[in-house]
Structure 1
């Protein structure tokens, strides 16, 4: 990083040096375009710095060199937090230098402090490279496993890693949305879905992600699950409380219990609420995916009830 006489950073792009448009400055007003929108096409590193920060001056040339070595796969954006403190405040940044990596409009990784060149290179390689011989389908499968085990952070990182290489990978987009949903970041999930082109909205992965989001939004409007369970204890034929409890249980990751409650309603009174329990089951199956073991067993149990 170069510093002018006023002590302010000037990127390689600003000075006409190596790196070109791979290194730029941003402001609060241009952050959306410089970082959020740009990160939908390639990973963007945001270096939060200040003129008085010694370690920032150490990290600057290291991270610029590392980004230049990617030959366009990664962009570096610098933000002076003294001049533009709002974004750093929203991200909860308390010390600098801090670097955030954005992919597909979301922060997916980061580090603090003036790391040595080797660690900076490893950070960037992890962001754009991943396992040398791993097939994308294998990486996506690992993301699904992490999600099924409730490791939302790991799942989000895996899907974001795929998107760093393939920004239009619909399975990765859908996986990232479902990770956000499971992490209760519903606004972020909705924003990702809205960014999907209209002609791709019908894709199975996107439909599953949308179903998961809709179910989570539905659950957010419910009351306390303990109260619903108490109502059922008093009246096992209270289908509305059982239905609401199933929606809430699914949102908490207790999917098998949700399935049991909805199947119970179908068995007791299929016509209830205009076939509402069966329709809710179909939405669950869509959100879980056609090959999910619980989807497969749930469909068999539903068929057994319907055709008994």
Structure 2
């Protein structure tokens, strides 16, 4: 499991068998610190045997952001009756109740899928004013900083660890793919994106990396910058040369100059090569951050040309 700024509490501290004797201490008082998820169950209850391990797994995964109390209603009938008299519907089990600040704030009954358990725990953490991400945002921010500073391998390790905690984290998938791009491993970057779950496959962050991959492949085949520049200067109407120059400029890190060349090409002939200039501009814009000045100004200029 990934350590995200704090040490996970031992399982014995996170998950306890609770009786009438320690209910006040381990549920009511403990819920003043973190939410306590109480599982009311019985040994004869089939759905309880299904639900219990899922609850324990979800609580453990939260790394101390919640705790769990297991109450056998047959062994604690007086406690169950007292809670029922206070309004908790314990006639059917399993019943799972989230306690925050000493009072019940949410509940469900019956065996539910893991996704609903995760959502239930997330709500409890949020109601307690905690961070339901369990510190993943901090880990992602640290990985981004590592990548920006050139510690690519370390960044890749953190992004990968986040994915172990949250297999549908689009930010981590995109970050891991960008790490491989930074190591000039375009094929592996593409493989990372191809491995993303369908639920996040069209996330804007992943689409941005796909655009970066396409540009990286183009860069590998771009022509000599000086020769292409001279060719365009010699014949400004040579649109293929201008397009090739734009690709070479982008490969050289001259993104604004590449955009300018493509905008000029679009102005000269917007339909050239099935609208290749516009398509290339969109690829460049998609690869940039949404608030990047080059993308913002470039989109504005392109729009003004399209609707002129």
> Which one has the largest radius of gyration?
2
What TM-score does the superposition give when structure 1 sets the normalisation length?
0.49
